[in-house]
Amino acid sequence: MKLLSKNLLIFFSLCFVSCEFDKDDDHEHAELITLENCDGLIDANVPDFYKKYFNCVDVSVSSVQGGAVILSTKGLPPYESMYYSHEYENHTDFVSQGDGYYINPNTISEQSYSMSIQEAPVSRNLTINSSLVDGVIGTSNNEYDMSSQGIALNGVILFNPLAGPGDDIEDE
């Protein structure tokens, strides 16, 4: 199973790397993306916390979801990264730190993410213990799944810290 997972990872990585960007695009991000110029619109009616701390994120209050705060982002970090493609001013070259250090073949791309935060969350009455933070996926119905888990103050998407089934995050 582990061999199959690795082969699939290699196959999809090669497919992704072999894709070519559209050379006729309008190079929307020819300018360096920073906290000062990143996209983001914060509605006047959102709680002050969001106005004070969030940037590079659209923040609104939903009238449909009972006053939930809706966070939306394109997921583009407002800083330089070796994971930006060469089309972005935020791209910086990878510098190896020695043997065993390799750049991930993926690149950052604009995607639409949204999440809602309830105005008055309801507790699940869970007691956090070692079985809920064991570092292994699939051991509890109350753990985070393998998708995005949140949006940082600067609009970057947060994922859980675990590896896929059968893998150890320390080996990735």
Phi-psi region of 77 (alpha: psi -120 to 50; beta: other; left: phi over 0): beta
Q: What is the pLDDT of residue 29?
A: 58
Confidence of residue 84 (pLDDT cuts 50, 70, 90): very high
pTM of the model: 0.71
What does 17-45 look like in DSSP terms, one character per residue? HH----TTS--TT-SPP-TTTS---B-TT
Average the pLDDT over 128-145 and give the result: 82
d(Cα 36, Cα 64) in Å, to the nearest integer?
Answer: 31
pLDDT band at 14 (very low <50, low <70, confident <90, very high): very low
How much is the mean pLDDT over the chain?
82
CA distance 33 to 155: 12
Q: Contact 78/154 with Cβ under 8 angstroms? A: yes
The DSSP-derived string for 64-117 is TTTS-EEEEE----SS-BTTB-TTSTTB------STT----S--B----EEEEE
Per-residue pLDDT averaged across 115-124, rounded? Answer: 89
- pLDDT tens profile 24-73: 344 455 799 999 999 999 999 999 999 999 999 999 999 887 789 999 99
CB distance 146 to 137 below 8 Å: yes
Using one digit for the tens of pLDDT, what is the confidence trace for 97-118? Answer: 989 888 889 999 999 999 999 9
Q: Does residue 19 carry a pLDDT above 70? A: no
Residue 119 DSSP code = S
d(CA 40, CA 58): 5
Of 161 and 76, the structure prediction assigns the larger pLDDT to 76
